[in-house]
Amino acid sequence: MEVILADSAGFCFGVKRALEITEGEIEKAGGRVYTYGPLIHNEIVVDDLEKKGVTVMEEDSDPTEYPPGVVIIRSHGVTRDVMEGINGAGHVVVDATCPFVRRIHDLVSDHSAAGEYIIVLGDPAHPEVKGIVGWCQSKDISVISTADEARKFELFDQKSVFLVAQTTFNVKKFKDFVEILKGKGYDINALNTICNATKERQEEASRIAGEVDAMLVIGGKHSSNSRKLYEICSERCKDTMFIQTAEDFTPPKPWSISKVGITAGASTPDIIIEEVFKKCQN
């Protein structure tokens, strides 16, 4: 069996940076270390950090309920209010927000302050999107996650619109949704804030899925970017499977496959990817 592994599979820049920052704080070990919510959407990595003494500060909890310590803001970022609340509770904040996400925070803050209506393309329940919304300086903001929502969107005044996207949003959907919204005649400044790593990962996954008999997408069950990869690959390869570890992959018998492709989400460690790759080879 030929096994094709995507070059882009595995940790992205933002996740690597957040992990390196966290490991650095663990080494200092001058006191308690928290992450605001799970550092990344991968249970294996989070469990490993817990064994090293890192505690997860539950999202939307009262930071004063936790003894003072270092609180690491994960790559997804948080709202302005959450940041101020953690600081005000006597914790030391170490901001590991991905620079690409931080840029969106600044853009939304500046453009909303200038009186523009903000549209965010993304999953409203995802922590990154919640964080982006929390930097808007007005109530004039909407989150759009589906084409139907884009078609139903209405703006009842002549405000200019500034549009951004979750960094892991589907590239094709971004283009489609912007086209729908611009077709309504609004004055829209649409900025594609999907990070290049996401774009390259999605394009490579789509290409490989179109060349193989079966496709494996490795990622945490709560990982938004991994689910998007699965969605993209499923459109190109009907035999696409979503797994978290090599243990989840049990090929059906008989399995007449000559070529299998593998990709992985931005929060998937190299060791898991290697284990899946070896299992396929064997």
Residues annotated as catalytic (active site), given as ranges: 128
C-alpha 252/C-alpha 249 separation (Å) is 9
C-alpha 269/C-alpha 199 separation (Å) is 20
247 HSE (CA, 13 A, CB side): 1
The enclosing H or E element of 262 equals: strand 259-264
Farthest-apart Cα atoms in the chain, separation: 62
Q: What is the DSSP string of 14-63?
A: HHHHHHHHHHHHHHH-SS-EEEES-SSS-HHHHHHHHHTTEEEEPTTS-G
